[in-house]
Structure 1
Amino acid sequence: MRVHVVSDVHGNGEDLEKAGAGADALICLGDLVLFLDYADHSRGIFPDLFGVENADRLVELRTARRFEEARELGNRLWEGLDRNAAIEAGVRRQYAELFAAFPTPTYATYGNVDMPSLWPEYARPGTTVLDGERVEIGGLVFGFVGGGLRTPMRTPYEIDDETYAAKVAALGEVDVICTHIPPDVPDLCYDTVARRFERGSAALLEAIHAVRPKYALFGHVHQPLVRRMRIGATECVNVGHFASSGTPWTLEW
């Protein structure tokens, strides 16, 4: 059995179309949407609306962790515009392309920048969306938990720690845990380019110790200090920043 796993697609539909080649299934760990490309400030919903110069400034402020100033800049730019409608229109354009690129079968969960309410409109037959749920693939039980935890970034699908922990607990005994964010381990949460710790889940780390799955797969941290480590019996793997690599991570058994 061969499964390809991607995360942090961020608008890379061209490579997503090829991501399932040679695999029995594709797993997507979320963040389909590209709001702003930190490597190329001309790409994404934000520069489409407000131009590259404003995108440059927003990235500068966020990278410096000057989140209040970043919010003030955003508020000025959005003044007089219907923010929700403009963002949703951009997300819909991206979802139409990206969901069409998913092969059959695909198993997917949400990232922190996704809009779960829109997924039922775009998920085609052959794409199974899971969040706090399990599925059997090739004799192994895979559990999926989507979304991220609350941060100053205030991305669209951030939830409180208790809600996230309840979704992790609902999985029960699984062979593979698939999440968007990592367990709360500093080496797995630190982004070496952004120079900050992303939020990992303490509940997920507890589940790894208690359930001892074969694998814990995740993304979210684009340039992690450590991409892979063993926690007890579990191999924890950041499957990579698909938006830049265009290459899925492979699991075979």
Structure 2
Amino acid sequence: MRVHVVSDVHGNSTALARAGDGADALICLGDLVLFLDYADHSRGIFPELFGVENADRIVALRTARRFDDARALARSLWHGMDRDSAIEGAVRKQYSELFAAFPAPTYATYGNVDIPRLWPEFAQEGTTVLDGERAEIGGLVFGFVGGGLPSPMRTPYEVSEEEYAAKVAALGEVDVLCSHIPPDVPELCYDTVARRFERGSSVLLDAIRATRPRYALFGHVHQPLARRMRIGGTECVNVGHFASTGTPWVLEW
């Protein structure tokens, strides 16, 4: 059995269309939407609406962790515009291309920048969406936990600690634990390019220690200090920033 795993697709529908080649199934760990490309500030919803110069400005503020100033800049740019309508229209356009690129079968969960309420509109036959749910693939049990935890970035699908813990608890024991964010381990959460710690989950870490899945797979941190680490008997793997690599991580058994 061969499964390809991707995360942080961020608009790369061209590579996504090839991500399942040679695999029995594709797993996607979320962040389909590209709001702003930190490597190329001309790409994404934000520069489409406000231009590259403003994208440069907001990236500089966020990188300096001046989040209040970044939010003030964003408020000034959105003034007089229907923010929700503009974003939803752009997201729908991206989702139309991205969901069409999924092969069958695909098992997918949400990232922190995704908008879950829109997914049923675009998920086609052959795409199974799971969040706090399990699926059997090739004789192994996979558990899926989508979204992120509250952060200064205030991304669209951040849930409370309590809600996230309930989703993890609902999985029970699984062979492969799939989440968007990593367990709360410093080496797995630190982004070496953004030079900051992203939110990880202590509940995920506790579940790994308690239930000892074979693998814990995740994304979210684009340039992690450590891409993989063993915790007890569990191999923890950041499957990679698919938007930039275009290459899925391969799991075979």
TM band (smaller chain): over 0.9
Q: 1:75-102 CA distances to partner (integer Å, 9 max, x unpaired)?
A: 0000000000000000000000000000
Partner of 2:26: 26
State the TM-score, normalized to the length of structure 1. Answer: 1.00
RMSD of equivalent CA atoms:
0.3
Partner of 2:101: 101
- For residues 231 and 169 of structure 1, the distance between their equivalents in structure 2, rounded to whole angstroms, comes to 19
Task: Tell me, yes or no, if structure 1 residue 64 matches structure 2 residue 64.
Answer: yes
- For residues 129 and 164 of structure 2, the distance between their equivalents in structure 1, rounded to whole angstroms, comes to 17
Partner of 2:172: 172
Once the two structures are superposed, the pairs formed by residues 112-131 of structure 1 within 5 Å of their partners are: 112-131=112-131
SS at match of 1:178: strand
Partner of 1:134: 134
Partner of 2:41: 41
- For residues 97 and 64 of structure 1, the distance between their equivalents in structure 2, rounded to whole angstroms, comes to 33
Give the drift of 1:169: 0.4
Give the drift of 1:52: 0.3
State the TM-score, normalized to the length of structure 2. Answer: 1.00
Give the drift of 1:43: 0.4
Partner of 1:229: 229
- For residues 152 and 181 of structure 2, the distance between their equivalents in structure 1, rounded to whole angstroms, comes to 16
Give the drift of 1:134: 0.1
Where structure 1 has 5 or more consecutive residues not aligned to the other structure, the ranges are none
The size of the alignment, in residue pairs, is: 253
Q: 1:67-124 CA distances to partner (integer Å, 9 max, x unpaired)?
A: 0000000000000000000000000000000000000000000000000000000000
Where structure 2 has 5 or more consecutive residues not aligned to the other structure, the ranges are none
Partner of 1:158: 158
SS at match of 2:11: coil
Identity over aligned residues, as a percent? 81
